[in-house]
Amino acid sequence: MSYLHSFSLLDKRREWVFRWGEADWQVIRADGTIEIGTRFSARTPAGEYVHFRTSGIRSGPPEVLDALLRGEPVDASAYYFRVAVYLETSAPRLAALERSIFVASAIRGADSVRYTAYRVT
């Protein structure tokens, strides 16, 4: 399944929306917690390419996690979804992104994942 990834870099007050080039891995633990790893590439509105790599956890009550897997709308406060984000780019203007680690809060929609990321300083 392909998802729309929206990634907000709050330290720069900009939002980039990416629509292609993704892979993800999910491991469901015995307690229902989901370990998530993703890799996706995108092009910024300026035409620069950025590669994203995330690693994180989604957890919550079984009925909430089941509803998310079925693609049903779920209030984001009903579950925990956090990831570490690493960025790679060949764009000189964005090179500082490669020297930073971001922590993101994520929201899972039926056909989307929205990350609100904060650069760790």
- Mind listing the pLDDT tens digit of every residue in the chain (121 residues)? 334 455 655 555 555 655 556 788 999 999 889 999 998 887 777 888 888 899 999 999 999 999 998 989 999 999 999 999 999 999 998 898 899 889 999 998 877 788 888 888 8
Phi, psi of 27 (to 5 degrees): -120, 125
Residue 20 main-chain phi, psi, to 5 deg? -155, 165
pTM for the full predicted model: 0.81
* CATH of 4-119 given 1.20.1440.120, 3.60.21.10, 3.30.450.70, 2.40.160.20: 2.40.160.20
Give the span between the Cα atoms of 31 and 13, in whole angstroms.
37
